[in-house]
Structure 1
Amino acid sequence: MMKIEKNSFNKYVEENVFTTIEEYKLINENEKIMIGVSGGKDSILTLHMIHNYRKKMDLNFNIEAVCIDEGIAGYREEGIKTARKNCEKLDIPLTVYSFKKEWNYSLDEIHNLYKSTCMPCGVYRRYLLNKISDEHECDKIATGHNMDDEIQSFLMTFARNDQNKFPKFGPKLSKIHENMVPRIKPLWRLPEKDVGIWCVVNNIPIHDEECPYSVTSLRSDVKSLLNRLEEKQKGTKNNIFKSFMKTFTLKQEKVKLNSCEICGQPTAKSPCKACEMTKEISELITHQQF
């Protein structure tokens, strides 16, 4: 196993993340940044890097964190504990909000209603991340998407020919609705393996278990494929990343968003996907009971 020199590795990670933040102007003075924290390695590194960036650059901006509790028994509880532990260490306020509180059912209770459990989970998580961030009057939502995640999302979108999503790639999204909080991705150029190494060499507590429902997702298949290709030909992931950075430089169009007629959240089409899904789930649950 290759020996890692802690100080030089930490310097490399910080330079990678700080350069992305500065080059793309992800964070400005006097902003309030909400960090989506699951307890996993990516979100925990994002939490620490944004905290370190504020401290080392002597900048004035506020940081909060939110953890979405989907309601996955034996899994999410540990992630919440880890999120709390890291937030308390860095003195960052944490809000925990659940599917159960918002919709009166957990992911476990609806997991068999769809072919892939990741589909309703993704819709609901994105909805709550924006809702909580908007209610807290945050300027940005920082997520833990790393370089591998971005490559996977790109290939999934490419495979589905979902051309509307190509402009959404990149480390920063524009504000396109007064209640839509823009996303930023400080780890955008950092490989996933380096995220894991950073947590290990710095002895940072993380929740290192795979979500039990992740095997149902297309992302899981794409991730496995990319890892096999990388094992056979080192540098494959980085080449793909560089390729789509140069090829798909589509501008984020100013899409006209409306407000959902049911919940009031921003949406291109009313009702929003979350409310549409909630109605569908209610009907499916009622059908199962008879």
Structure 2
Amino acid sequence: MKPLDHRNFNLELEKRVRKVINDYGLIDDGDKIAVALSGGKDSVLTLHILDKLSRESNINFELVAIAIDEGIKGYREDGITSARNNALKLGIDYIELSFEDELGFTLDQASKFYKTACIPCGVFRRFLLNRTAHKLGSDKLATGHNLDDEVQSFLMSFARADVRRFAKFGPKQERIHPKMVPRIKPLWTIPEKEVGIWAVLNEVDIHLAECPYAQKSLRSRLKNYLNHLEEERPGTKIKMLEFFQKSLKMDKKEVKLYECQLCGEPSSVSICKACEMWGIIKKGMD
């Protein structure tokens, strides 16, 4: 088998990411874009492609990277190191936060109060990323969500009948509250497998280890199922994404946010999920 030419592979990958950015208007001239940087392959690719685009495109925009140490002993340290190294290599401003410093506990401690650690992890990561991006004056928050992530997330919400989350799907979210930084997903149509190939071909410093909590999650089971389907019927994932895109008729502008009575952050209810969980965890620890 002829080996992959990494230059052609890179060009084709960048072309598809640029298409999503252009087709959905993810970036505007003068934007300040915060990149959620975990040190994993998806967020690192997002950072590298946006950095290249900022230097080669007619659109002028600024980048800043935000990394969050959730506090997973023996695992998270390597990811934070990779995140820091990539931001430093590209000369991008880098902000590093931790659950312990910002919330008063680590994910390892919080996980004891939930069936799976993915529940508090997702809630508090989103909380800190949005709050930090807003404080930095960011116009957009770019995440490394790829094709696989999006299909998995939709099926998870579908299985839970969580209709409110449907409004969060798609490559771009509009600003629906002054404190809510719109999210963009440049890798929206890129399969996870291709992100991995990019990292290997270009010998990029990334954190490859799987989170020790991942195997207990519904996402992990759906991921294995979808990979099996894709292997038997190539193209299944992109077809599912296209179906979701066509079938979702919810007007995202109808989603209304308020401000949490405790922390003041955007929330669809009077007490945001982060504060609700924060209280449970702190009470349990005390």
The TM tier, using the shorter chain, reads over 0.9
The match for 2:75 is 75
1:68-96 deviations in Å (ceiling 9; x for gaps): 11001111110111011110111001111
CA distance in 2 between counterparts of 1:135 and 1:238 reads 36
The match for 1:197 is 197
Gaps in structure 1 of 5+ consecutive residues = none
Deviation at 1:59, TM superposition (A): 2.9
Contact 2:167 2:255 in 1 (8 A): no
CA distance in 1 between counterparts of 2:2 and 2:101 reads 46
Give 4+ residue runs of structure 1 displaced > 3 Å after superposition. none
Which amino acid counterpart does residue 48 of structure 1 have in structure 2?
H
* 1:56-205 correspondence to structure 2 within 5 Å: 56-205=56-205
Equivalent pairs: percent with the same residue? Answer: 49
CA distance in 2 between counterparts of 1:276 and 1:164 reads 18
The match for 2:47 is 47
1:239-271 deviations in Å (ceiling 9; x for gaps): 212221222243213333221121111111121
Contact 1:69 1:99 in 2 (8 A): yes
CA distance in 2 between counterparts of 1:233 and 1:214 reads 25
The match for 1:12 is 12
CA distance in 1 between counterparts of 2:271 and 2:236 reads 41
Give the alignment's TM-score, normalised by structure 2: 0.97
Deviation at 1:7, TM superposition (A): 1.7
Q: Secondary structure of the equivalent of 2:254? A: coil
CA distance in 2 between counterparts of 1:103 and 1:7 reads 43
Contact 2:69 2:96 in 1 (8 A): yes
1:230 aligns with 2:235: no
CA distance in 2 between counterparts of 1:4 and 1:36 reads 29
Contact 1:167 1:250 in 2 (8 A): yes
Gaps in structure 2 of 5+ consecutive residues = none
Contact 2:152 2:223 in 1 (8 A): yes
Q: Secondary structure of the equivalent of 1:195? A: helix
Contact 2:146 2:191 in 1 (8 A): yes
CA distance in 1 between counterparts of 2:50 and 2:257 reads 30
Q: How many residues align?
A: 286
Deviation at 1:285, TM superposition (A): 2.4
Which amino acid counterpart does residue 103 of structure 1 have in structure 2?
L
1:130-182 deviations in Å (ceiling 9; x for gaps): 01001101000000000010010111111111112222210000101111101
CA distance in 2 between counterparts of 1:54 and 1:74 reads 35
CA distance in 2 between counterparts of 1:231 and 1:256 reads 40
Contact 1:40 1:208 in 2 (8 A): yes
Q: Secondary structure of the equivalent of 2:67? A: strand
- Tell me which moved more, 3-12 or 182-191: 3-12
Contact 2:189 2:238 in 1 (8 A): no
Q: Secondary structure of the equivalent of 2:60? A: coil
CA distance in 1 between counterparts of 2:28 and 2:100 reads 35
Contact 1:67 1:95 in 2 (8 A): yes
Deviation at 1:109, TM superposition (A): 1.4
Give the alignment's TM-score, normalised by structure 1: 0.96
The match for 1:259 is 259
- Tell me which moved more, 102-111 or 248-257: 248-257
